Amino acid sequence: MEKRWANSEQGAESGRERKRERGPVPGLGIDLHLAPSGGAGLRRGLTDALREAVRTGRLAPGLRLPSSRTLAADLGIARNTVADAYADLVAEGWLAARQGSGTRVADRPVPAPPRRPAATPRVPGRPAHDLEPGSPDLGSFPRAAWLKAARRALADAPNDVFGYGDPRGRPELRTALAGYLARARGVRADPERIVVCSGFAHGLGLLAQVLRRRGLDSLAVESYGLDAHWDLVERAGLTTRPMPFDALGTVVGDGDGDGDGGGDGGDVGDGRGGGPGGARSGAVLLTPGHSFPLGLALPPGRRAALADWARRTGGLVLEDDYDGEFRYDRQPVGALQDLAPDRVVYLGTASKSLAPGLRLGWLVLPPDLVTEVAETLGTSATGVVEQLTLAEFLVSGAYDRHVRAARQRYRRRRDALVAALAVRAPEVTVTGIAAGLHAVLRLPPGTEESVLRAAAWQGLSVFGLSRFRHPRATARAADALVVGYATPPDHAWAGTLEALCRALP
């Protein structure tokens, strides 16, 4: 009887299946994770498992369940057992069955999962305005243009792009990057010397591992920077040694010919001992185009001295060009890599120009590092679709158009910031604004902590300059705020600026 019933219903099901081939039916054929108990109580075990899944909310109200035939095949049980379990739960009100619409989870209130008690806030109120540096305006991501590039890239992509491929990254992207970096940043780039990674931190971690295996025990860094980067390097076994700085920025060696190193009345370091050699390191990490967070460009004489040190000693320079696209009041400062392409690693990302969530970065490497870095990477850590899309974005000119529009928008924000502070907080000096996405607001001596407390009361999330000082740095800069003016969305900028002015002395 069971066999005849199943065959009869199978015929009806086959007719329905032929109709379904004309268009998809939402929810049909979904996978369910169920573990019904076996033995004589299989029907009861399945009923209990389904009931529990509905009761706990794992199966959402309105979800269409698989047909009895499909679920029976998935579980390896008789179809009648599934049909009977469905019928039991319909009778209990857990499921609902209607002619022509299958069996669905009934609409019932589902208890919300228990919530952990909220943590006690460290500052009054919840920050309403984000001025932390390090991110662009995420609302300005070019969704339509990116989607268009993705469609073109996927339409033209051969099937083999979805394999593991070259660990250095897709050749389409490496070729596009080589062309863009050469014309826009002055980088001497060969596609064969480019490795695609998942952002700056990922690339820095790869390099730190390679340097440690090569016998280096330290990396010279700037006195002010990001502790996340220092921690990453030290986890790889390298000690970070901060270099001194003066009014012109990082001091890269004695007698570099750019100023007397004497400081400017307590604002800066003393400039003695200097640079990667003075730090006893065979490698140095710095942001020569726009130091973070101080906002200074390394002067030409110091750039030349650093390149000369690398060539003379066999040292390695890791150049972080973190916001190279955004220059406002000066000619673009080219990449340091151009001065010594065989001794400088150029690190770039799309995090500031597009969005950090893309997880797209690149290393332009000296020839002797390419194989070792690629082997350390193993397989490309960035999705092939994102790589192909960025390649198309670059080649089509969409990237340049987006950057130019973003540059104008961020410049307007910067100008509004400077104008407002000139009127509302004349004792505050704004520096580091010729480029980048942040400004340094120099405060009266001894006021950094009190201004941060006032900013918290105004609902501002902002950092003091001391937050970025290396724990072993001997020099100390003035009290200041580091204001990331790119982060707030356009509609919130005026309110954020007003709150900032209220917090300043």
pLDDT score for 57:
87
Question: Does position 407 have pLDDT exceeding 50, yes or no?
Answer: yes
Please give the average per-residue pLDDT across 448-463, as a whole number: 96
- pLDDT bin (cut points 50, 70, 90) of residue 378 is confident
Q: What is the DSSP string of 427-488?
A: TPEEES-SBSSEEEEE--TT-HHHHHHHHHHTTEE-EEGGGGB-TT-S----SEEEEETTSS
Please give the average per-residue pLDDT across 242-268, as a whole number: 61
Q: Which of 45-59, 261-275, 465-479 has the lowest mean pLDDT?
A: 261-275
Residue 212 amino acid letter? R
Please give the average per-residue pLDDT across 284-289, as a whole number: 96
Please give the average per-residue pLDDT across 328-348, as a whole number: 91
Higher pLDDT, residue 266 or 162: 162
Q: Which residues contact 8 (CB under 8 A, 6 or more apart)?
A: none
Question: Does position 398 have pLDDT exceeding 50, yes or no?
Answer: yes
Question: Does position 21 have pLDDT exceeding 70, yes or no?
Answer: no
For 239, counting Cβ atoms within 10 Å of its Cβ (0-12 exposed, 13-18 middle, 19+ buried), the class is middle
- pLDDT bin (cut points 50, 70, 90) of residue 268 is very low
Angle (CA) 113 119 120, round 5°: 145
Question: Does position 26 have pLDDT exceeding 70, yes or no?
Answer: no
pLDDT score for 214:
95
pLDDT score for 486:
95
3-state helix, strand, coil in the chain (%, to 5): 45, 15, 40
pLDDT score for 114:
56
Q: What are phi and psi of 249, to 5 degrees?
A: 115, -155
Residue 431 structure tokens: 């520096």
Q: Which of 300-304, 374-378, 469-473 has the lowest mean pLDDT?
A: 374-378
Helix, strand, or coil here: 96?
strand
- pLDDT bin (cut points 50, 70, 90) of residue 119 is very low
On whether the CB atoms of residues 354 and 137 are closer than 8 A, the answer is no
Q: Which of 46-50, 396-400, 417-421 has the lowest mean pLDDT?
A: 46-50
pLDDT score for 257:
45
pLDDT score for 42:
85
pLDDT score for 263:
34
User: What is the phi-psi region of residue 328: left when phi exceeds 0, alpha when psi lies from -120 to 50, beta otherwise?
Assistant: alpha
pLDDT score for 271:
35
For residues 33 and 75, give the distance between their C-alpha atoms in angstroms, rounded to a whole number.
10
23-105 CATH fold: Arc Repressor Mutant, subunit A (1.10.10)
Predicted structure pTM score: 0.81
Half-sphere exposure of 374 (CA within 13 A, CB side): 18
Angle (CA) 274 280 286, round 5°: 60
Per CATH, the homologous superfamily of domain 129-138+402-503 is: Aspartate Aminotransferase, domain 1 (3.90.1150.10)
pLDDT score for 147:
98
Residue 57 structure tokens: 């909310």
On whether the CB atoms of residues 279 and 240 are closer than 8 A, the answer is no
Please give the average per-residue pLDDT across 86-109, as a whole number: 88
Percent of the chain with pLDDT over 70: 84
Mean pLDDT of the chain: 86
Cβ–Cβ contacts within 10 Å for residue 138, how many? 13
Question: Does position 275 have pLDDT exceeding 50, yes or no?
Answer: no
Cα Dmax for the chain: 101
Q: Which of 30-34, 48-52, 146-150 has the lowest mean pLDDT?
A: 30-34
Percent of the chain with pLDDT over 90: 71
- pLDDT bin (cut points 50, 70, 90) of residue 17 is very low
pLDDT score for 123:
45
Judge whether 23-105 and 129-138+402-503 match in fold.
no
Where do the structural domains in the chain lie, given as residue ranges? 23-105, 129-138+402-503, 198-384
Residue given tokens 């208890």 in the structure block: 111
Please give the average per-residue pLDDT across 314-342, as a whole number: 90
Q: Which of 17-31, 131-145, 321-335 has the lowest mean pLDDT?
A: 17-31
In CATH, the number for domain 198-384 is 3.40.640.10
User: C-alpha distances in angstroms, 368 versus 7, 16, 57, 181, 365?
Assistant: 70, 64, 56, 20, 8
pLDDT score for 254:
52
Question: Does position 113 have pLDDT exceeding 90, yes or no?
Answer: no
Length of the chain: 505
Q: Strand 102-105 and strand 95-98: pairing? A: antiparallel
